Amino acid sequence: PESKGMFHRGSGLNLTSGQYTAPIAGYYTFTATLHLVRREQRKKWQPRRGNRLRVLICVQSRCQHNSNLETVSWLESGVGLFTISVTGVLYLQAGQYASVFVDNAADSPLTVQSGSDFSAILIGV
């Protein structure tokens, strides 16, 4: 929320939907840094193939069909706070939007904490 010191410039970011809409066509650099809390764990934690977390920045909410940015992290055992980031450049047409998605294939629920951020900066047309 803006009341907690968030820097916000321009009209492209919609705080309600969590989407950044490109005001003009061009190349944008995106960054998302999420602070997450692993709230609970299985009784006997064992590493397994599906114990991963993906964070994506996708265009038009179509992560499978459009270009996107992605990072993958393999989760360790235990409850606690950790941070995951994704950054890169995407081309957006005027009116297209980008947003952050979390694909949690871990064995426990995660909560995004305050202090997480999402930014977009036009770098060229």
Could you tell me the residue ranges of all domains in the chain? 16-39+49-124
- Res. 75: pLDDT tops 80: no
Fold exhibited by the domain 16-39+49-124? Jelly Rolls (2.60.120)
| Per-residue pLDDT tens digits for 80-125 | 788 899 999 999 999 999 999 988 887 778 888 888 888 899 999 8
| Per-residue pLDDT tens digits for 54-70 | 899 999 988 877 679 99
pTM for this predicted structure? 0.79
Give the pLDDT of residue 64: 78
| Per-residue pLDDT tens digits for 22-51 | 999 999 999 999 998 887 655 554 555 557
* Mean pLDDT in residue range 73-82: 75
The contacts of residue 104 (CB under 8 Å, 6+ apart) are 53, 110
Query: Tokens in use for 39?
Result: 């709230």
Give the pLDDT of residue 1: 45
Please tell me the distance from the alpha carbon of residue 75 to that of residue 34, in angstroms, as a whole number: 14
Dihedral sign (CA 22, 23, 26, 31): negative
Looking at residue 4, its amino acid is K
